[in-house]
Structure 1
Amino acid sequence: MRSGTGTGNAAPVVIVGAGHSGVAVAAGLRAKGWEGCILLIDAENGLPYERPPLSKELLKDGATDESAVLRKERFYADKGIDRLAGVTAASIDRNGRTVLLSDGTRQAYHRLVIATGSRARPLTVPGAGLQGVRSLRTRDDALELKRLLVPGARVAIIGAGYIGLEVAAASAARGCEVTVLEFQDRVMSRVTSAPVSCYFEKLHMRHGVRFVFGAAVTSIDGEQSFQGEQRAQSVTVADGTVFPADVVLAGIGVLPNQELAADAGLDCRDGILVDGDGRTSDPAIYASGDVTRFTSPIDGASQRLECIQNALAQADRVAAHITGQPAAEPEVPWFWTVQHGVRLQTAGVRHREDQVIVRGEPAGGKFSVVYLRGGRLAAVDTIANLADFRTAKRLVAQGALIDPALAADPGIPLADAIAGIPHHAAADLAAARS
């Protein structure tokens, strides 16, 4: 059994998972003065890398096959952070404070951090295992998908969320024939409102992407290739329509990799339950990033967020609690996606019942959508409007009451739309509170 690594004999802080959050916990521990051993366990080989480019830049024609690393190799050596690559955690012995690893060894821990992220939700229809049917979560996934996206390839994308639409944009740019099959009645319905959905649907259609809504996929059918393997040939939906497809991408969401925690008896509910410091139901075990579920300090909602901002913010709180140092103030969650060169930025978490106010004219390519909950600014979507995005982040954090009429006027700065205050004075108040 490993009792420790690096310098000293004390058991290390063991971090399971080397995505954005896991690497940030390790870096944060050192930055906050942790002098003990740190061990980072990475299921993949090579250096930990950035995830957002996998469905964007990495798929572009002519782009290098190398993804950007989170930290250079020298960083880990300089900071005394040990890494085990190509190894996973199989089980946790909470009483003994050890982790059984996939290589058969057992690793002791002083504190354990679970940052195992999430995985692509699998297709469960007949034919899902055929060659040419792909999901996108890792660098290897992206490189294999890139190899298949040749000019003229017929690409069927199941799901019109961020990943599905980003891949649709990359596929169209590479000269593929792209069809997006979405069960709901509009794109990105889980994360945004109808005006934003409509804008991006039209944007994709201008680039040749075809949409089919209300489409429930029932099977993927294939044929035998010259190499003797069964490859995808078409996708069938519930009404019997058949869509030819050489490549099928399943972009139907993700599942948290919570099994390690659940098997150890930690409280889980579509994510590992953590408090504001990232602690699980075991005080010696923390969790961070996409795998967690927590109560929002902004609006009190139970949520599991899949975004880099949350991964880094939780990592900071975990490192702070382990070291006894102060953490940064909670930040309003924010997200982004880039499709056909257009960047959608979101601050806050929209609820379906929120009041929707459009600022500006979508046809002009620069507008925002403001979401009010009980009269207070809860979230904003912005396209080519960085000023609204930055202002909205401050106002959401403040729980600012907003005058709907003022917010709907793009000629009035969003900071001047605070309810009950003359709009020429509202900006000064917002700045003073920030």
Structure 2
Amino acid sequence: MPRFPPHSRDTQPRLCKPLRSPGSLLWALCSLLPPPRGVRYPCPSMHPLIGHAGIARELRALATSSEPPHALLFAGPDGTGRTALAIQYAMMLNCERNRATEPPSAGAALFDMDAVPATRDSGLGTRDSIPCGECRACHLISEGTHPDVITVSPGDTLCRPRPNESSHEKHPTSRDIRICQVRGIIDLAARYPFEAKYRMVIVDPAERLAREAAHTILKTLEEPPGHTVFALITAAPEAIIETIISRCRRITVRTVPRAEIEAGLVARGIEPTLAARSAEAARGKPGVAIGFAAKPDLMGDRERLLQVCALVAAGRTAERFRHANELAEQWRRDRATVLNTLDIWESFWEARLAESAGGDPQDTRDALRAIEAVMHCRADLLAQVQTRPALELMLLSFPRVTLPITVEEPTAAHA
């Protein structure tokens, strides 16, 4: 059963309805039902994007061109809004106000196509721009229920056995996007969309494409169907084979200034004090800030993790090996938690760097080397280097710190 956006690391979780299998008649018939009159869907994608105004302008220009690119690579850290941008691009391509190209889907002709052409000078979601946020396509995509916008992630999404394969073992807990899923992608891409002008296939995370799967999808990227657009989401483009990278238009998604995140949260109705705290703790990642604003207790968890970092940095070598072992075991179960812990370590050393300003130059150099060690470790883990040696190398590279005050060991277990 397919997993629909915006269930992703880059967007706030919400309830969606993946009730029908792609390709079924029931799916096609149900997708023709119009939304109730006057209904407004209160979901995050209907809000303006937080930051990335330049990228939004670029995507709008691509969406309104006569030949939009068939594959985009959204590269940047987790939580910066890569998937949110991909979903916005799907809305731009299929918004009923976008009449730049003729719809390749016969099903799209069933809907009213007489709409005012979009202008490219105004912001997202307004009446004279795309996406309008009001038409059927915008509603379904933002809710995560559009039959032509599908996210493929590690697991059983779109899993297709070989034609002569008598039995096929399911792999719901797989950590890679496997070749059987790529067969499903190729099969789906060969069909016309049910109702959209362009089907959007979001591959998240793209660096988890197994080698055989990556080479299999390559031909589809080289000779793509005109009605299908691919969006590859990645935090580690260096882990993707170069032949795939070369066939995608790259969109580099960077962190967002704290002031922009704070203003974006306030615009979403978040209380200003909470918005300021969330923006500060998110370190330039709008998706993380939205999560903090929705669940402020998560910021308390972050403070406890910073205390763990202080204890490990001040502890003996044995304590660092123990911490590396815990993180390596955690990586096997939940990679996102370990990557979040690396973010916390980076925050810890950035704070030490700020404290060293005007002080001992050696403290500044030590903090910079520690930050570099965290960045190298993150890249190694995403590139599937051996986990424990990478973590041990990072922790042993850290300078030993002297805590100015006694830090009580938190009751929570190490992340």
TM-score norm. by structure 2 comes to 0.30
Relative to its length, the structure with more helix (as a share) is 2
Q: Which has the higher contact order (CA 8 A, sep 6+)?
A: 2
TM-score norm. by structure 1 comes to 0.29
Relative to its length, the structure with more strand (as a share) is 1
